């Protein structure tokens, strides 16, 4: 699979992507027919982005639409989407992961910062954050859910593995775990 390298030349002075040759008018998004390697500190996409391979960046990845990858999504900075973030591989950020929609991964979701979603967070692997995990929907993992901060959900928190938090575990729905539940400092609370 080929790799498309995006450099500072592909972005304007404010960091917005300007190469319209990747824009598909039918789907209304930027489409990359291979892996995407972003060699720019800041990368803002005014439309959704889609890659048939991996998406990796030495800085932030930001989209005013969706971020979709048939491979993994990797960022040395933050991953931010005003839509959904979806990957057939892992989603990894050395910063925060923030979505106004849902976050979905067929692999693991890992953040050295916080994971925040105004929709659901779903992973076929593990969900891990060195910060907090927050969802206005449900949080579901076919693996483990682990946070060095708190875990908060407006819906259910469900794991086929264990659930671990060094802060509070709080759900307005139910909390299910096929493994163990651990909270290091505070409390596990379900509010109905």
Mean pLDDT of 136-157: 96
Q: Give me the percent of the chain exceeding a pLDDT of 90.
A: 85
60, 79, 101 — which closes off a domain? 101
Q: What is the pLDDT of residue 129?
A: 98
Residue 176, in any domain of the structure: yes
Higher-pLDDT residue of 183, 133: 133
Query: Is there a single domain that holds both residue 138 and residue 167?
Result: yes
In order of 9, 21, 36, 53, 96, the CA distances from 5 in angstroms are 11, 14, 6, 13, 23
Mean pLDDT of 89-115: 98
- Is the model's pLDDT at 5 over the cut of 60? yes
Domain range for 20 is 1-101
Q: Which residues contact 44 (CB under 8 A, 6 or more apart)?
A: 11, 14, 15, 16, 17, 62, 63, 64
Query: Is there a single domain that holds both residue 123 and residue 167?
Result: yes
Radius of gyration of the chain (CA): 17
Q: What is the pLDDT of residue 182?
A: 67
Q: What is the pLDDT of residue 141?
A: 97
- Is the model's pLDDT at 70 over the cut of 90? yes
Band of residue 168 on the pLDDT scale cut at 50, 70, 90:
confident
Domain count, the chain: 2
Mean pLDDT of 38-47: 92
Query: Is there a single domain that holds both residue 5 and residue 94?
Result: yes
Q: What is the pLDDT of residue 41?
A: 82
Query: Is there a single domain that holds both residue 11 and residue 44?
Result: yes
Q: What gap in Å lies between CA 121 and CA 5, rounded to an integer?
A: 29
- Is the model's pLDDT at 47 over the cut of 70? yes
Higher-pLDDT residue of 180, 94: 94
Contact (Cβ atoms closer than 8 angstroms) between residue 161 and residue 128? no
59, 75, 101 — which closes off a domain? 101
Q: What is the pLDDT of residue 177?
A: 87
- Is the model's pLDDT at 181 over the cut of 80? no
In order of 20, 87, 104, 108, the CA distances from 46 in angstroms are 11, 19, 21, 27
Mean pLDDT of 72-84: 97
Residue 16, in any domain of the structure: yes
Q: What gap in Å lies between CA 17 and CA 7, rounded to an integer?
A: 10
In order of 26, 44, 93, the CA distances from 138 in angstroms are 32, 28, 21
């Amino acid at each position: 699979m080929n790799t498309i390298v995006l450099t500072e030349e592909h972005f304007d002075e404010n960091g917005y992507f300007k190469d319209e040759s990747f824009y598909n008018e039918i789907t209304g998004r930027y489409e990359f027919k291979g892996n995407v390697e972003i060699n720019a500190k800041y990368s803002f996409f005014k439309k959704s982005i889609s890659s048939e391979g991996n998406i990796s960046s030495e800085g932030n990845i930001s989209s005013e639409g969706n971020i979709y990858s048939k491979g993994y999504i990797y960022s040395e900075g933050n991953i931010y989407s005003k839509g959904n973030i979806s990957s057939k591989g892992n989603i990894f950020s050395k910063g925060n992961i923030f979505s106004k929609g849902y976050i979905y991964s067929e692999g693991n979701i890992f953040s050295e910062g916080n994971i925040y979603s105004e929709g659901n967070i779903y992973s076929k692997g593990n969900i891990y954050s060195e910060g907090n995990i927050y969802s206005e929907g449900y949080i579901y993992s076919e693996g483990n859910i682990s946070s060095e901060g708190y875990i908060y959900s407006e819906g259910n928190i469900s794991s086929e593995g264990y659930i671990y938090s060094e802060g509070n575990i709080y759900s307005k729905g139910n909390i299910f775990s096929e493994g163990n539940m651990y909270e290091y400092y505070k409390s596990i609370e379900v509010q109905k």
